[in-house]
Structure 1
Amino acid sequence: MSYHHILVAVDLTKDSHRVLERAIAVSERNANAKISIMHTLEPLGFAYGGDIPMDLTSIQDQLDDHAKKRLAEIATPHVEPQDQHVVVGMPDTEIHRFANDHGVDLIVVGSHGRHGFALLLGSTSTGVLHGAPCDVLAVRVGRKGEQTDE
């Protein structure tokens, strides 16, 4: 199978570079397939269940700005600025939506090697895998003995 548009979904940890590197290698083997990269921020309202009686818009905007800067640090120079996306929502849902809307034929995500099938990929990677409209490549990150930023 040949890939034309690869979506790299990252969590902005140091392992994000490893996930992007794998996607770049796949792109090069597929006539330099287009690469898009995205990070999903969960809305603050989800995290706090609406229990905080204040407007969280400015905090959400600050988180968004920080995520865009961090994503650019990871993606540049490999991914064009217009193909770098920070979205707000549930990660697996937003990854699926992006893949459907943009003709993505491969999603590349990081996977923490844990024991048992349910823990194999982690909750986000598992969600992406189960509802993906295309192939999914899970790149093993955070190998035993290595520290991650999570």
Structure 2
Amino acid sequence: MSQAYQNILVAIDLSDESRLVLERAQEVAQRNQQAKVHVLHTLEPLGFAYGGDIPMDLTSIQEQLDEHARQRLSKLLEGIDIPAERQHILVGMPDTEAHRLAEELNIDLIVVGSHGRHGLQLLLGSVSSGVLHGAPCDVLAVRVGKKG
């Protein structure tokens, strides 16, 4: 029999579907003697989005995006007891940051949302597929979106 999960990382994109992913992770945590749940949302660096070709300081815009993400995360977590120290908003590539944080926090399960389509990348989406490949632990893909 496998051992219980103790540290769960929920990687979300802050979409409406993220609530379902969070709820499923909470269910797993409850079945595993109240495992600690961490939530991760990753912001892509603005320099990546624009290829680094913009000759201006994007710091204030990045800070505004960070603040907006924190507000959205706070709203998404209403009624879910996850302390602030386990809420992570990082700047970087989602799969890379999920792997790094999983190792840093000794995570034994990463929970991500997936879409029910065909083929691994379509099934999981490119971010979820990236999290799966190279993850230092188990990955649970929660089906989200339209069914059928």
Task: Please report the TM-score for the alignment, with normalisation by the length of structure 2.
Answer: 0.94
Contact 1:75 1:84 in 2 (8 A): no
Q: 2:145 is matched with which residue?
A: 142
Superposed, 1:56-135 pairs within 5 Å as 56-76=58-78, 77-135=80-138
Alignment match, 1:148: none
| CA deviation profile, 1:63-97 (whole Å, cap 9, x unmatched) | 00110111111124321111111000000000000
In the alignment, is the contact (CA less than 8 A) between 1:37 and 1:75 conserved in 2? no
Return the offset for 1:118: 2.9
CA RMSD of aligned residues (A): 1.1
SS of the equivalent of 2:85 reads: helix
1:109-150 Cα offsets, whole Å, 9 max, x none, are 0011122223110100000001100000000111248xxxxx
Letter in 2 for 1:8: V
What 5-or-longer segments of structure 1 have no aligned partner? Answer: 146-150
Aligned residues between the structures: 145
Aligned sequence identity (%): 66
**Residues 113-122 or 4-13, more deviating:** 113-122
